[in-house]
Amino acid sequence: MTSHAHNAGALTTSPTPKIWFITGASRGFGRIWTEAALQRGDKVAATARPLASLTDLTEKYGANVLSLALDVTNPEQVKTAVVQAHTHFGRLDIVLNNAGYFLVGTIEEASLDDLRALYETNVYGAVSVIQAALPLLRAQGSGHLLGTSSGLGHVTSPVLGYYASSKWAFEAIHESLAAEVASFGIKVTIIEPGAYATEFGSPESLRFATGLAAYAEFKNHFFAGLSRLERGNPAATPAALFAVVDAEQPPLRLFLGSHNLPAVRAAYAERLATWEAWETVANAAQGVVN
């Protein structure tokens, strides 16, 4: 890891300017990370559904930014955008899958159409970007695939179960991917933010399932608890992201924030305790092959 990676303070200049492809660059983490990369001297192909949301980036950063309209649920548009970015800059060093949204609703409330739409963006959209980028990265013999997951990729929650499930799928895909592409010189890191004061809670980033009266009181309690949750400052995150992309051996997973690790420790301790309590039953189910 480069020396500045240990410094959580002011951002430093990129040791070697890198070229990024970022989805969901119009708001939230995507916007913050896009601007931070440009500010440290990197170049970015910034993508978002509404191209107009990226206009100010072009005005401010000129030739260092390529703004592209991209709906990640359109595989052909994804392929075109990735190739266009690669052709424009000559290479891609970092491909950051950041586009995504929350589906809010209990398991009973959300419709199958709600769930399909969620997976189209959060899972299939990310896979489209990965599959479009891999031939180019393989030909380069280098590249770093980053994916924005969540602490909910490990510990689920009521009312956010379907969103969490999309991140559990996202995690599994990236873990397999990392093993599959390592021999090509391609690195993979899953970025797992906790709760942050970003625009991810805005109407553009939230979809609500049609509510059922039976869950109204439960959800009121849930949202009351959510409102009391301590949120991190998203402006503090770029230094951690840069520490990862500048590292010789980046981690497969990186939590952002201080709340995820305690939550995951507790969740896995509980899971292990349950499995161990039922170990005798489980072992008996192994049977004996004659």
CB of 34 closer than 8 Å to CB of 63: no
Q: Residue 11 is which amino acid?
A: L
CB of 163 closer than 8 Å to CB of 149: no
Q: Which of 61, 101, 163, 215 is catalytic?
A: 163
Q: Choose among 54, 5, 53, 27: nearest CA to 234.
A: 27
Token duo for residue 175: 């873990």
CB of 194 closer than 8 Å to CB of 234: no
Q: Is 43 a catalytic residue?
A: no
Q: Is 167 a catalytic residue?
A: yes
Q: Which of 67, 149, 150, 165 is catalytic?
A: 149
Q: Which residue has the tokens 């990129």?
A: 14
φ/ψ of 232, rounded to 5, equals -80, 165
Q: DSSP secondary-structure letter at 153?
A: G
Q: Which of 18, 43, 167, 219 is catalytic?
A: 167
- Which residues lie below 8 Å from residue 83, measured CB to CB, with a gap of 6+? 132, 136
- Residues labelled catalytic: 149, 163, 167
